[in-house]
């Protein structure tokens, strides 16, 4: 069991998500086609951004679901 925990921790560290540095300058679009920049909404409401292995992200905001 200890071996599994150690291996899992090492793999989590190696495969940790990295936030692209250009994310604040990238125009994002919601499902209705409205454009915005992440810093515009990040100060107003809580924002959860998930960066997957291919750089794709899903942003969850109350009353909005965005695919980037």
Q: Is the pTM value of this prediction over 0.75?
A: no
Do 17 and 50 touch, CB atoms closer than 8 A?
A: yes
User: Looking at residue 23, what is its pLDDT?
Assistant: 75
Per-residue pLDDT tens digits of the chain, which is 68 residues long? 899 999 999 988 888 777 777 877 888 777 777 888 877 776 766 766 655 555 545 555 555 555 55
In DSSP notation, 4-49 reads HHHHHHHHHHHT-----GGGGGSEEE-TT--EEEHHHHHTTS--EE
State residue 12's pLDDT score: 85
């Amino acid at each position: 069991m200890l071996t599994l925990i150690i291996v899992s921790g090492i793999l989590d560290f190696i495969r940790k998500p990295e936030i692209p540095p250009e994310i604040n300058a990238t125009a994002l679009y919601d499902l209705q086609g409205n454009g915005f920049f992440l810093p515009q909404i990040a100060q107003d409401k809580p924002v959860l951004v998930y960066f997957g292995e291919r750089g794709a992200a899903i942003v969850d905001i109350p009353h909005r679901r965005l695919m980037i």
